[in-house]
Amino acid sequence: MATAPDFETYCQELFDHKTAFGKPEVLKGYRVLSCTQYILGPSCASYLGELGAEVIKIEAPRRGEPMRHTTPFNEPLLYPLSRWAPEAGTGLGFFGANFNEEFVSLDFHRPEARQAMSELAAKSDVMVQNYRPGTFDRWGIGYQHLSKVNPRLVYQWLGGFGGWGPGRVRASYDILGQAQGGAFGITGEAADRGGTPAKHTIWLADYWGGMMAAVQVLAALYWRDTVSGEGTFIEYSQVHGVTRMLEYALPLYGRYGIRRERWGNWDTELCVHGIIQCGKSSYPDSKNPQEAEVGYILVTAHTDEDFKKLCDVIGRKDLATTYAKHDDRVKAQNQEPVYEAIEAWAKDKTKEDVAKLLDKAGILNQPVWNAKEVSEHPHWKLRGAVQWIDDPMYGDIHAQGPAFKMSDTPPRVKWTMKPVGTDNEKVYGRLLGWSKSKIAEMEDAEVI
Amino acid sequence: MADTTFPKHKVLPWPAVPIPTPDEVYRGLTDQAKEYPLSLEAQLRQSDNFKKPENLTTVRVLDVSKGMIIGNWCSSMLSELGADTIKCEPPDGDPLRWLTPFGRKEYMFKDAETGEPIGLHFLHEMRNKQSITLDLEKEEGRELLKKLVVHFDVLIENYPPGQFDKWGIGYRQLKEINPRLVYAWVGQKGQWGPSKDKPGNLDPTAQASCGFVHGTGLPKEFGGRPTRSAMWMADQAGGTSTAMGILASLLYRDKVSGKGQFVEGTAAEAVIRILDYNWAWYGMDGSIRPRYGNWDLAINIYAVNPCKDGYFMVGGGHDRLWYRIWRTVGQTRADLEDEILDDKSLRVVVARLPHTKQVKTYTVLADWQKDHSRADAMRELLAQQVASGGVNYVDEVAEDPHFKYRGHVDQFEDRLYGKVLYGTTPFIQHKAPGRLKWIGRPLGYDNEEIYLKLLGLGGGDLAGLKKRGVV
Amino acid sequence: MSSEARTTIKPGLVLTCTKCSSKNFLDPYPFWNFQGNTKCAGCDTIYAVKFVKGQLVSGPTVGSGKPDLLPGYAEDKNGAGITGEGQIRPAPQARPDPFSGKQKQISQSVRGKPVSGHPLKKEELVGSRAKFIADLHRI
């Protein structure tokens, strides 16, 4: 028998995203209805689509859902928005939350919609919706209605504040969730260093919230299919999710009345473990301001041994004496002189210069990479973390890969998204038995 | 020497303001209007949790990760949903156990039985888990692990890439011992690839490597720099997405294949997945997404700006809300409302997006906000049906009536650690909700029970293992 | 843009120049607790200002010297935007070329392959997608 390959090669072959399509899918045979808008609801359904579920996205006729109409700086759009509006496009705000889905349109306000939804739900395993609490119930397609049609249905509602309690009427916005839930107020440079609270650049509450909801859907499906045979109703509040993320803040406040505050790019629990500025740009000749900016790098040297090595490298052996013990250098008042010294040393270097010198000394570090550096980095490309998709609708699209890897039944990106109502005929014909003429009629009347 | 007079300030018991009652919350509503929220409460209130089953009762998880929160977070996702979860630490503990902000030992809690301190970050993520110890650096420890995994559905580890394989307890070896085992490796950037993990890499390594740090914080033009999340948030996202992979593996095993598989979850790739349009935008025209502070590249009004008593969020991308926002502003500052309404170039939604227009919009808005507290601003905007809210500080999060009423924040009376205020599980469900059973365990608390129950090792065996430093 | 009856804004984060009537938008993040010199983007007049928590506590006083911080944006007395380099602070940019204000016409990805990134006409569609993309996938 041949010698087993070395571990890294073994992993590379096992998790190669290019061989994913030769492997089975976990959620083959499962159907998910995605009656969702923006990011929170759609992303939950999208993660299930990556695992192989047939996900049907249901949007307003013609215009589709609002997120199609947002795009950074108004500039990049993918065309057509729909076959009715080829001159319009879908913005990149919509991108990433709707992978692998079939796209149909339906006007929920029309009387025919209730029947159509009921029939679709009868044939589905999961319903994901993030309309205001009570809306679907008023339309006759709430959990109370659809669970009678299909007791095995896992019905996932998502939103900002939930459907009960004093704040139930409040609208759901990602950054509102970040702000109200507490993550916004503790992120950013410290107040007494002139800093302000900082928004997480991603829709953290919504996109990560969608992952949390998908975890619960998968757990509910697991329970249904191995134990109970029953569906269930799940309520996910995105601001609740944010509050879950606050680490030691709540226990500390609860017992000792001490409020966690911002600590910028340093760490409250470990020193040295912080992001410092390097004085030189890595691309000084670039005309792109993003590249012309100076570099930044994370330096990790919190063990006594590593800290001593770091102090040698930066020419400040005195610091290793003054702050020899971690308990000393992790103190709030001591972190500042330590990081200032590291930054002073890095003032005439690029982040790559710094990384090289630290690597040589065996000190852990991570340069702060921008979107281009990540996109072009051989590590991320090899791993399929970012990948070029030959998208059947839009052509050559650069996209993110699935969040995690599985050896036997990997998640995968098949296509990125489609125009509004692309699959009306396919889905309504196949699943509801509508004739071609009925579909045309319904489209003309803008019921679908 | 512990400061026995800590804290010196008076601490308000939680809740400082009583939790509203249902009558107070729904006062003034007709019966018909109350019906829907009350029907939800009947299905979802956490007080009924323990009358209901759990999704993952049949699943047993062994978490041998250490030093990074990603493994603990991942196993928390499962333990909150009912998985029988055991945290297996080195004999001197997971290093995270001993961490505390700014090295302040007085922040740590002590358990009632042994007086052993525990760091609050680790405590918050030890929920529903038992603690055993095992030294995997020793051959004897690894042999015990091989015996243990027979009894588990899931193993979570985060040792340096290839370490377990080298020790003979990697996926390749353990799957021969227990073919049904779902084996999850978690880390920052991966077990393979030109930039794979080095021993000791910790978040925000992942945040810095994936574009998150570069994109967060005030723009350079505002005097800002790239900023990390306060939290080890890539680990949190990575732990959540790995839990997805684990659950998917269990589902496939029990429905189709009868076999486990290898799941690899990295903190960086979880965040790359959710860095929405970074990658597509780059692919279309080489754009490198810039930091835009607390404003948005794609929507105006959708931002946080300073106000009289802190920072305040207002959202209103479409016309309906745009005009209502300025109507609200106009109630006290007609000059500011007029300035916006008179500007023809701001009439069309998409025309409000250029940076210059956002500067004008938010300067005018902030000129109104400077005279309003978060509470006042929110109230005035709500009257015009505009969504808004303040940036909350931790104490405000803890005391928000909505969060208290719904149990987003709760105080648990733990048998070992006393009253602990904590962020509750967001896994709210009708039939089989997530729940907290206990918040934490001292190191090795459950050695006796677990080694006996699973491996039939009695007191004498265990004593021997302890003596040899295996446990 | 009408030049008569423009709104007069109370002194604050919007600095109306006494010399040329330009409105200078002193954006909230950098100016909230700023003390020093800024300048009118319209006519380069130096103004000393002091803000505490966004409140204008002193100034704007015409002064001399160099500006410490430029406005984020400005409009002249007719409402026309002033955006020149050295007049206002630069906008964050994703590329070398500045924001265009219009939907971009993209027909090729950054690596030179076809992408449907520009508006289409009905006759350029096959079903719900661009014909030139459908043609790529024709077997």
- Minimal Cβ distance to C109: which of A196, A398, A422: A398
Strands (E), B238-341: 262-266, 302-307, 310-315
Report the CATH number of the A16-244+387-444 domain: 3.40.50.10540
Strands A395-400 and A404-406: unpaired
Same domain for B140 and B265, yes or no, is yes
| Reported pTM | 0.97
Same domain for B315 and B261, yes or no, is no
**In a domain? residue B104:** yes
Find the CATH number of the domain harbouring B320. 3.30.1540.10
Last residue of a domain, one of B326, B359, B392: B392
Residue C75 with chain B: CB contacts under 8 Å: 360
Positive or negative, the CA dihedral A206, B69, A308, A319 is positive
Positive or negative, the CA dihedral A335, B72, A402, A57 is negative
Residue C116, classed as helix, strand or coil, is strand
Looking at residue B329, its pLDDT comes to: 98
Same domain for B326 and B243, yes or no, is no
Looking at residue B2, its pLDDT comes to: 47
**Peptide bond connecting A61 to the previous residue in cis, omega within 30 degrees of 0:** no
Strands A154-159 and A126-129: parallel
Segment 450-469 of chain B within 8 Å of chain A by CB:
none
Same domain for B240 and B363, yes or no, is no
**In a domain? residue B70:** yes
First vs last C-alpha separation in chain B:
29
State the angle between helix axes of B374-382 and B319-330 in degrees (0 to 180), rounded to the nearest 10.
120
Q: Which residues contact B139 (CB under 8 A, 6 or more apart)?
A: none
**In a domain? residue B36:** no
Contact A388 C116 (CB under 8 A): no
Segment 192-221 of chain A within 8 Å of chain B by CB:
196-204, 207-208, 211-212, 214-216, 218-221
Q: Which residues contact A98 (CB under 8 A, 6 or more apart)?
A: A34, A42, A45, A46, A57, A416, A417
On whether the CB atoms of residues B303 and B369 are closer than 8 A, the answer is no
**In a domain? residue B11:** no
Find the CATH number of the domain harbouring B261. 3.40.50.10540
Looking at residue C101, its pLDDT comes to: 76
Segment 330-369 of chain A within 8 Å of chain C by CB:
none
Residue A88 with chain C: CB contacts under 8 Å: 119
Whether A61 contacts chain C with CB within 8 A: no
Mean pLDDT of all residues in chain A? 97
Residues of chain A with CATH 3.40.50.10540: 16-244+387-444
Q: What is the pLDDT along chain A (448 residues), one digit of tens a residue?
A: 557 889 999 999 999 999 999 999 999 999 999 999 999 999 999 999 999 999 999 999 999 999 999 999 889 999 999 999 999 999 999 999 999 999 999 999 999 999 999 999 999 999 999 999 999 999 999 999 999 999 999 999 999 999 999 999 898 899 999 999 999 999 999 998 989 999 999 999 999 999 999 999 999 999 999 999 999 999 999 999 999 999 999 999 999 999 999 999 999 999 999 999 999 999 999 999 999 999 999 999 999 999 999 999 999 999 999 999 999 999 999 999 999 999 999 999 999 999 999 999 999 999 999 999 999 999 999 999 999 999 999 999 999 999 999 999 999 999 999 999 999 999 999 999 999 999 999 999 999 9
Against chain A, the chains showing at least 3 CB pairs within 8 Å are B, C
Gap from B468 CA to chain A (nearest CA, Å)? 27
Confidence of residue C3 (pLDDT cuts 50, 70, 90): very low
Same domain for B268 and B320, yes or no, is no
Whether C94 contacts chain B with CB within 8 A: yes
Looking at residue B332, its pLDDT comes to: 97
Q: What is the pLDDT along chain B (471 residues), one digit of tens a residue?
A: 445 678 889 999 999 999 999 999 999 999 999 999 999 999 999 999 999 999 999 999 999 999 999 999 999 999 999 999 999 999 999 999 999 999 999 999 999 999 999 999 999 999 999 999 999 999 999 999 999 999 999 999 999 999 999 999 999 999 999 999 999 999 999 999 999 999 999 999 999 999 999 999 999 999 999 999 999 999 999 999 999 999 999 999 999 999 999 999 999 999 999 999 999 999 999 999 999 999 999 999 999 999 999 999 999 878 999 999 999 999 999 999 999 999 999 999 889 999 999 999 999 999 999 999 999 999 999 999 898 999 999 999 999 999 999 999 999 999 999 999 999 999 999 999 999 999 999 999 999 999 999 999 998 999 999 999 999
Whether B90 contacts chain A with CB within 8 A: no
Same domain for B244 and B359, yes or no, is no
Q: Please, what is the Cα angle at B394 between B388 and B396, to 5 degrees? A: 55
For B309, the domain range is 302-392
B82: left (phi over 0), alpha (psi -120 to 50) or beta: left
Strands B84-89 and B60-63: parallel
- d(C-alpha B436, C-alpha B81), whole Å: 9
Q: Which residues contact B231 (CB under 8 A, 6 or more apart)?
A: A183, A186, A187, A245, A246, A247
Residue C10 with chain B: CB contacts under 8 Å: 333, 335
Same domain for B106 and B187, yes or no, is yes
Last residue of a domain, one of B352, B367, B392: B392
Residues facing residue A300 across a β-bridge? A273, A364
Last residue of a domain, one of B392, B410, B431: B392
Whether C104 contacts chain B with CB within 8 A: yes
Same domain for B376 and B446, yes or no, is no
* Of B143, B87, B168, B149, residue with least CA distance to B465: B143
Among chain C residues, the shortest Cα distance to B332 is held by: C10
Whether C90 contacts chain B with CB within 8 A: yes
Amino acid identity of C89? R
Looking at residue A190, its pLDDT comes to: 95
A273-376 CATH fold = formyl-coa transferase, domain 3 (3.30.1540)
pLDDT in tens, C47-105: 999 999 999 999 999 999 999 999 999 999 999 999 988 999 999 999 998 887 789 99
CA B259 to chain centre: 30
Residue with tokens 């072009």: A376
- Minimal Cβ distance to B336: which of C9, C79, C94: C9
DSSP A354-418: HHHHHHHTT-EEEE---HHHHHH-HHHHHTTSEEEEEETTTEEEEEE--SEEESSS----S----
- d(C-alpha A61, C-alpha A202), whole Å: 29
Residues of chain A with CATH 3.30.1540.10: 273-376
Same domain for B384 and B461, yes or no, is no
Residue C5, pLDDT above cutoff 80: no
- d(C-alpha C79, C-alpha A208), whole Å: 43
Same domain for B378 and B447, yes or no, is no
Residue C1, pLDDT above cutoff 60: no
Residue A258 structure tokens: 């001490």
Which of A287, A372, A394 should we substitute to test contact with C (largest number of C Cβ atoms within 10 Å)? A394
Same domain for B185 and B138, yes or no, is yes
Against chain B, the chains showing at least 3 CB pairs within 8 Å are A, C
**How many domains does the structure of chain B reveal?**
2
Looking at residue A4, its pLDDT comes to: 80
The ipTM is 0.98
Among chain B residues, the shortest Cα distance to C71 is held by: B359
- d(C-alpha A285, C-alpha B339), whole Å: 41
Gap from B18 CA to chain A (nearest CA, Å)? 14
Tally the C-alpha atoms within 13 A of residue B308's C-alpha that lie toward its C-beta.
10
Same domain for B240 and B336, yes or no, is no
- d(C-alpha B205, C-alpha C83), whole Å: 38
* Of A110, A117, A111, A107, residue with least CA distance to A56: A117
Looking at residue A186, its pLDDT comes to: 98
**In a domain? residue B137:** yes
**In a domain? residue B37:** no
Residue A395 with chain C: CB contacts under 8 Å: 109, 113-116, 130, 133, 136
Whether A233 contacts chain B with CB within 8 A: yes
